Homo-oligomer: A and B are copies of this chain.
Amino acid sequence: MQLSDFKAVAADYKVIFFDAFGVLKNYEGLLPGIENTFSWLQETGKEFYILTNDASRSPQELAESYYRAGSYAITPERIISSGMLAREYLDLKVNHGTVAYLGTPSSAHYLETPDLKTLPISEVDLSDVSDINALVLLDDEGFDWNTDLNKTVNLLRKRNIPVIVANTDETYPVSKTRIAIAIGAVAEMIETIVGKQFIRFGKPDAQLFMFAYERLEHADGPVSKRDILMVGDTLRTDILGGNKFGLDTVLALTGNTQPQDAEIQIRSTGIIPTYVCESVVISE
């Protein structure tokens, strides 16, 4: 497996799509030196966007967290999150009544509209569910798994409503050696139990890429897919999704895919990045 230099690769593209976790930051915060990369992107006039399977906060709040960490380049309009897709879905397809959710109150807040209120599963009264028109799985935090997952199953037996999974990740790293179960894995368990088909937003699905792509077009004329590079740390989300959307792809080895495992994983999954780079950090 040949390693490429990120700067040399990216030089040939006009737009870069970045995954966030494992590429720009990890469990300890932003990668040291990542600001060099943003400076270089700005100097060279390259557009960039963050495509993230994150429905725990609004793009505004996500941008603020980068700001607080010392990264001023990542403004809200550069962030495309799976939470935005969930919000668009609810706006177009549900638009009134109550949306029950699993997640933190702040994750749900972003979904509220004047006509659509949100309710944590813990506050759902199973004997009166007629006003609940959708269920959204947002985050693995903010609820009691023992009681609220059982309540979720029973809600879905009483109401045939759309279920939206706003983060398809199965796990996420919490330290150098440990991971945590993400809401995507919980969603698969509930889906199997109730036997229904949930609606998933997030990479590798094309809709997140399309959302970013449309934002580009609204800037100054159409951009060819040939001019966009997708960078991620996970084969089955970032790279598979980028490839399928027609983009060239970079696998960065700073997150889910360990350097010693990259080659065997590429061979065994058949998900083939255009390039493999150690890191997107530009050392200078």
Interface of A is mostly: helix
Q: Is residue A245 contacting chain B, with contact meaning CB distance below 8 A?
A: yes
Contacts of A153 in B (CB 8 A): 171, 179-181
CA distance A180 to B93 in the complex (A): 30
Please tell me if the beta carbons of B192 and A185 are within 8 angstroms of each other in the complex.
yes
Contacts of A63 in B (CB 8 A): none
Please tell me if the beta carbons of A192 and B170 are within 8 angstroms of each other in the complex.
yes
Interface residues of A in 43-94 (CB under 8 A from B): 88-89, 92-93
Please tell me if the beta carbons of A149 and B160 are within 8 angstroms of each other in the complex.
no
Cβ-defined partner of A199 (8 Å) among B146, B197, B236, B243: B243
Using A154-B179, A206-B205, A240-B197 as known contacts, say yes or no to A225 and B92 having CB atoms under 8 A apart.
yes
Using A150-B180, A150-B181, A210-B206 as known contacts, say yes or no to A271 and B197 having CB atoms under 8 A apart.
yes
Interface residues contributed by chain A, number (CB under 8 Å): 60
Contacts of A271 in B (CB 8 A): 196-197
Q: How far is the CB of A155 from chain B (nearest CB, A)?
A: 10
Using A162-B272, A266-B160 as known contacts, say yes or no to A193 and B206 having CB atoms under 8 A apart.
no
Please tell me if the beta carbons of A197 and B269 are within 8 angstroms of each other in the complex.
yes
Q: Is residue A3 contacting chain B, with contact meaning CB distance below 8 A?
A: no
Please tell me if the beta carbons of B269 and A196 are within 8 angstroms of each other in the complex.
yes
Q: How far is the CB of A16 from chain B (nearest CB, A)?
A: 17
Interface residues of A in 131-190 (CB under 8 A from B): 144-146, 149-150, 153-154, 156-158, 160-163, 170-171, 177-181, 185-186, 188-189
Contacts of A145 in B (CB 8 A): 144-146, 149
